[in-house]
Structure 1
């Protein structure tokens, strides 16, 4: 994957143009190529099919593509471009065409909503479908209304055009020590190394029920092992941190230059990751439980919730290696 390009999916919407700028900066960070992928509208695809079937040489060879022209103009005015920039006009359904385009990509970057979504939608159907099934990591860049205070970490307005300097904000990794695939952890560390920033590892543990809480059952009392020890941390937290440390050891050895912060928090993992996204450069989550099949089209509940509510870019990383 060292020479794999960053693919930016565009449709001319403001969300997709924010994603394009994020992808341009990301490609520069990794010294990778940039592929700008645009799925042609139905009218253009029908025109191409009609012209091909009629074989009428008097008709223009290509249907006008205003999105392609606009993107080329935007990139022409960019402060710096990757060494290789390629534009692809794709045919077929949007999710399937983008899945094919991303098969050999380092990552596929897209906006949270496209032209087809209602303004009130937090996440468009195409973004959800691609994040649920692409063969590569998918980064979803939220629309402006959701990214309050997070733009500094997205690269959209970063001061360094090359992306070589430290980025504002950490890379936040949602980790289940026993279940998160190695590919997800490695992606987070690689992104932090490219930015010269910290990986903040967040794991959540269940909160014991209060002794006076009744939910169609007898009273449940917190056992002694669930109480605070020496006024510091509950054993569940200590065990979570211990599991984190053990799980992260090989990645610390591989990326010794990346500082690591560990956090074990009570409650809902998705809620904690959404909160952390306000000041994060990137939130990284696994796509689904690794015991499901690698080709599963399902997306886990944590990834689903974070995609819908995060205030900054979210990377959804599938299981990439066959033996993961």
Structure 2
């Protein structure tokens, strides 16, 4: 994984300032620098273009940047700051500008709020957040607004099973290796467990119905047949085989495994109530379109906590 900067995309809204705090702590956790980026409002961009075109010496060279000023004040008042902090004002549309900066210098991740300034209050995920998560060249972490926390129920079985862990949504044959590496790197930096969730297609047996308790299994327990259905047991073994490489690179990261009948999106959303981070792949590595995968889309729309959407970052992933 990259040792590059953590990018925080801000627009001055409370949603983006929540993401800024998440990015600040992520940069500290990884010993990385922090780049705070915001796209200038259209009026400011028009002013800058007019001044440049007219070359009017009577116009002030500097224009007001209240977002940049506010962010600087917030970070200066923080109890701890990354060793390197940079600020950058961008021009263009929000998705296009952030897509460009996400491809410069191999950043570790880009962090943004689930909804920006001016978004519809009823929407859980704004159009800019969805567009950036779909097209950025680096992993994108979407931090939900504070209102989503009210829906969390840490006492629930599914949520409690994931408390403080990094939850990885894994398709054993399609998820790019970079997605696995990102999840394990996050868990290693946090000193926590990776909880791996996969789906299997065969309908579950009576003892393992959809919506039942969210059971997680440590890898050593797979030696026993237990009472799980054959399809679940085979999926867990397939997980184990797929995880061998990344577990070798992160031997100190504990792993739990879970198999879900049907679609894993619902379990990932439930896990997001208390997980430190939910990590999903953007789409199949062979699909070079602007369509985000169905699981990633569902988790982004309904998650109660931060979600990392990770693209295929290396050529090797395209060969999976």
TM-score by length of 2: 0.87
Q: Is 2:312 aligned against 1:319?
A: yes
Greater helix share, 1 or 2? 2
Mapped to 1, the partners of 2:150 and 2:257 lie a distance apart of 25
Question: How far apart, CA to CA, are the structure 1 residues paired with 2:23 and 2:152?
Answer: 16
Which residue, out of 239, 242, 253, partners 2:234? Answer: 239
- The 8 Å contact of residues 204 and 229 in structure 2, kept in 1 or not, is answered as no
The separation in 1 between residues aligned to 2:136 and 2:190, in whole angstroms, is 24
- In the alignment, the residues of structure 1 paired with residue 193 and residue 3 of structure 2 have an alpha-carbon distance, to the nearest angstrom, of 24
- Counterparts of 1:198 and 1:271 in 2: how far apart (Å)? 20
How far apart are residue 265 of structure 1 and its match?
1.7
Cα distance in 2 between the residues matched to 1:7 and 1:67: 16
Q: The residue matched to 1:78 in structure 2 has which SS?
A: coil
Q: 2:114, 2:126 within 8 Å by CA — same for their partners in 1?
A: yes
Structure 1 residues 188 and 177 mapped into 2: Cα distance closer, same or farther (>3 Å)?
Answer: same
1:208, CA displacement in angstroms? 2.5
Shift of 1:58: 1.4
Partner Cα distance (1:71, 1:149) in 2: 28
Residue 282 in structure 1 maps to residue 277 in structure 2: yes
Match of 1:268 in 2: 263
After TM superposition, give the deviation of residue 3 of structure 1 in Å.
3.5
CA distance in 2, matches of 1:62, 1:53: 15
- Where does residue 62 of structure 1 map in the other structure? 62
Structure 2 stretches lacking a partner, 5+ long: 155-162, 206-224
Query: How does 1:23-42 map onto structure 2 within 5 Å?
Result: 23-42=23-42
8 Å CA contact 1:48, 1:62 repeated in 2: no
Contact 1:150 1:281 survives alignment (8 Å)? no
- The alignment partner of 1:256 has SS state of coil
Specify the structure having the higher radius of gyration (Cα): 1
* Deviates most, 96-105 or 273-282: 96-105
Contact 2:115 2:145 in 1 (8 A): yes
Cα deviations across residues 179-230 of structure 1 (Å, max 9, x unaligned)? Answer: 11100001000000000000000011235399xxxxxxxxxxxxxxxxxxx8
Secondary structure at the counterpart of residue 316 of structure 2: coil
Alignment of 1:92-103 (within 5 A): 92-103=92-103
Q: Could you tell me how far apart the structure 1 residues matched to 2:94 and 2:125 are?
A: 15
Aligned to 1:222: none
Alpha-carbon distance, 1:323 to partner: 2.3
2:291 is aligned, of 295, 298, 306, to: 298
C-alpha deviation, 1:150, in angstroms:
6.8
- After superposition, the Cα gap between the structure-2 partners of 1:207 and 1:2, relative to the gap in structure 1 and judged at 3 Å, is closer
Corresponding residue pairs, total: 290
Instruction: Choose the corresponding residue for 2:194, options 173, 195, 199.
Output: 199
Match of 1:130 in 2: 132
Which position in structure 2 is the counterpart of 1:219?
none
Question: Displacement, 1:65?
Answer: 1.1
Where structure 1 has 5 or more consecutive residues not aligned to the other structure, the ranges are 153-167, 211-229
Alpha-carbon RMSD across the aligned residues, in angstroms, is: 2.0
